[in-house]
Structure formats: structure tokens, C-alpha cells
């Protein structure tokens, strides 16, 4: 992610050999920046650059003054274990699969291992694909013609958070023969979020970030929900919280959230670019940077297994 303001700073440093005269900015390049980052004119862009410069100085000074790492005693949110391999669940996208039969998240490593074992043993022809698709935990074969909506409703009413989320998506996207009903969907999202289900808070965050349906754009609320989602264990949300904070000029807090994400094992190219830049620009101290990378390594080793690597490699 390149933020508009940092790109603008880049523009400034590239072209400001003559401080007194900024008219030597390539007009075409300027036009491109204005359009891409939504500035109405050059003055607005220059003002944003100045504000960013102040934010930068504030974050650098804060880092210089810090004698203790604010995340030294930070306890990462609890990460559930896969009920089969008992390793902490992967935190990357598509690393887990939800099975309604067991109301469990199962790691894709175990899902792929289960499938491959069956294929290797030779699946009985009459059972076919369904056997391979069976739940790796309870061995239940998916039933045909299941009323997904009824099943989601039953589980949601029984207090199952993943099911509440799925039900909410059914309403919001109008799936499984259900007519789109945002109010009903948000009701379930709200309940799940209030009960500490991070993915639901993350959804709220996204709604406030770009304004969806009846929810109006509100960055402060978006940030609040992203942070909540992270604290509740949907740790990718720390990256989004950090992106939003950076945009709002809260560089110091933004860096804290990028660090939290990495310390939970989030593996995201942009995240590491931000951390590297954060260290390079002096928002993160050398000790903090090193500590973050060590924690990342530790946590990602704990999450690693041969079958997970296999599943990831083959996009299962």
C-alpha cells in the first residue's frame, strides 16, 4: 500500500531541488497524482503533504523518546487450535474450513491430508466424491439438497458464531433463495460481534470504511471495529486498522497495529513492506523491529506443518 501522502512526499522530494519554486513539477505527473489520490487541486495536495510531514515528525520523535517497547508485554489474542492436528489455526486467508456438522474450524492441512489419504487408499466407487468431501473430523458425508438457510438459522439460533456470520451473509447477498435483507443480516452480525466474534466486527469495520447500504462512511468507527476484530482473534484486522490509522495520520498507532499483525503471524507482503518502511523512517525502533520479526517467526513456526504447506502450495 502506498498512501497518497507518502507518494506525495515522494513527489515533493523528487522535484524539490529548488525549494522556492515548485512550479517545476511535471504537470502531467501532478495531474496523475491529483486524480489518483482524489485531490481537487495542487493546493489541497500541498496541504496534505504538509500535514503528513507533521505526522511523520511526530511519529519519529515519539519513537526517539520511547525507552520501552509498548508491545513488550502485549498478549496476542487467543488463536484456537485445529481440533485434528491440535496446532494453532492458520491466520492466512483460506487457511481454514468451517464445518457445520461439528461447528468447527479445521485447518486446510487436515482437510487436504484427509482427502489425499482417501484417494491413496482408493475411494469406493459407489460412494465416490462424497466420501472425499466428508468432514475430516466426524466423517459425516455432506447430505444432498440440504436447506442451507434452515441449517444456518438453526445453528445461529443455537449461538454458533460462524453460522451467525454465514446467515448474515445469506441475508446480505441474498443467497440460498433468500431475498436481500440488510437489516436482518446486520442484526446477526451485530449479535456475533457483541459476543466477541472478530470476523463480524471486521465486517462492520468494512461497512464503515467505505459506507455500505444504510451505514455511512465513518473512519473512526471503522478503526474501532477493526481493532476490536483483531483483539477478538481475527488478527488480519490489525493490518486494516493500521492502514486506516495511517490514512488518518496516526502513524505511531498505525505502526503498533502493523506490528501486532506480524506478531500474530499474519503473512502479508504489504504488511512487511510497511514494517520495513516504519523502521527505515524511524517510527519503529531497531529493538521493536527485531522483536516483531522474532515473534513473527516464532508464531509462524508454531502454525506450520507439512500438510498445511502442501495445501497452501496447491491452493486447496
Q: Which residues here bind Zn ion, judged by CB under 5 A?
A: 82, 84-85, 99, 101-102, 107, 110, 135, 137-138, 140
From the CB of 312, what's the least distance to Zn ion, in Å?
13
Task: Between 113 and 199, name the residue whose CB sits nearer to Zn ion.
Answer: 113
From the CB of 85, what's the least distance to Zn ion, in Å?
3
Rounded-to-integer distance, Cα 255 and Cα 261, Å: 10
Phi, psi (deg, nearest 5) at residue 96:
-135, 160
From the CB of 99, what's the least distance to Zn ion, in Å?
4
CA distances in angstroms from 152 to 139, 149, 161, 168, listed in the order given: 20, 5, 10, 9
Task: Between 9 and 305, name the residue whose CB sits nearer to Zn ion.
Answer: 305
- Residues 244-250: contacts with CB within 8 Å, 24+ apart? 244/209, 244/219, 246/1, 246/3, 246/274, 247/3, 247/219, 248/219, 248/223, 249/5, 249/51, 249/52, 249/55, 250/55
From the CB of 136, what's the least distance to Zn ion, in Å?
8
From the CB of 82, what's the least distance to Zn ion, in Å?
3
Residue owning grid cell 486506516 = 244
Task: Between 106 and 245, name the residue whose CB sits nearer to Zn ion.
Answer: 106
Task: Between 30 and 101, name the residue whose CB sits nearer to Zn ion.
Answer: 101
- Could you tell me which residues come within 8 angstroms of residue 101 by beta carbon, excluding any fewer than 6 positions away? 135, 137, 138, 140
Task: Between 1 and 138, name the residue whose CB sits nearer to Zn ion.
Answer: 138
Rounded-to-integer distance, Cα 106 and Cα 64, Å: 44
Extract the C-alpha cell encoding 90: 492458520
Task: Between 62 and 84, name the residue whose CB sits nearer to Zn ion.
Answer: 84
From the CB of 216, what's the least distance to Zn ion, in Å?
41
Amino acid at each position: 500500500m502506498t498512501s497518497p501522502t507518502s507518494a506525495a512526499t515522494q513527489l515533493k522530494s523528487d522535484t524539490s531541488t529548488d525549494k522556492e519554486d515548485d512550479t517545476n513539477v511535471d504537470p502531467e505527473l501532478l495531474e496523475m497524482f491529483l486524480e489518483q489520490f482524489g485531490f481537487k487541486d495542487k493546493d489541497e495536495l500541498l496541504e496534505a503533504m504538509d500535514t503528513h510531514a507533521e505526522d511523520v515528525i511526530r511519529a519519529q520523535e515519539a519513537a526517539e523518546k520511547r525507552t520501552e517497547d509498548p508491545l513488550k508485554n502485549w498478549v496476542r489474542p487467543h488463536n484456537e487450535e485445529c481440533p485434528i492436528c491440535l496446532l494453532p489455526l492458520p491466520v492466512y486467508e483460506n487457511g481454514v474450513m468451517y464445518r457445520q456438522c461439528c461447528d468447527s474450524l479445521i485447518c486446510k492441512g487436515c482437510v487436504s491430508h484427509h482427502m489425499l489419504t482417501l484417494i491413496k487408499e482408493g475411494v469406493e466407487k459407489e460412494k465416490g466424491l462424497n466420501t472425499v468431501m466428508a468432514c475430516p473430523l466426524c466423517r459425516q458425508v455432506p447430505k444432498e439438497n440440504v436447506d442451507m438457510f434452515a441449517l444456518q438459522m438453526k445453528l445461529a439460533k443455537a449461538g454458533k458464531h460462524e453460522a451467525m456470520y454465514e446467515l448474515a451473509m445469506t441475508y446480505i447477498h441474498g443467497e440460498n433463495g433468500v431475498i436481500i435483507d440488510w437489516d436482518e443480516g446486520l442484526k446477526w452480525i451485530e449479535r456475533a460481534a457483541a459476543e466477541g466474534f472478530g470476523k463480524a466486527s471486521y465486517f462492520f469495520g468494512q461497512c464503515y470504511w467505505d459506507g455500505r447500504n444504510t451505514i455511512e462512511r465513518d473512519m473512526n468507527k471503522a478503526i474501532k471495529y477493526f481493532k476490536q476484530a483483531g483483539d477478538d482473534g481475527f488478527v488480519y484486522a490489525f493490518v486494516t486498522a493500521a492502514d486506516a490509522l495511517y490514512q488518518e495520520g496516526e502513524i505511531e498507532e498505525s505502526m503498533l497495529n502493523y506490528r501486532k499483525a506480524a506478531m500474530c503471524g499474519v503473512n502479508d507482503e504489504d504488511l512487511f513492506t510497511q514494517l520495513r518502511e516504519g523502521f527505515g523512517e524511524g517510527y519503529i525502533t531497531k529493538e521493536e523491529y527485531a522483536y516483531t520479526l522474532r515473534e513473527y517467526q516464532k508464531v509462524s513456526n508454531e502454525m506450520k506443518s507439512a500438510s498445511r504447506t502442501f495445501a497452501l502450495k496447491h491452493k486447496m
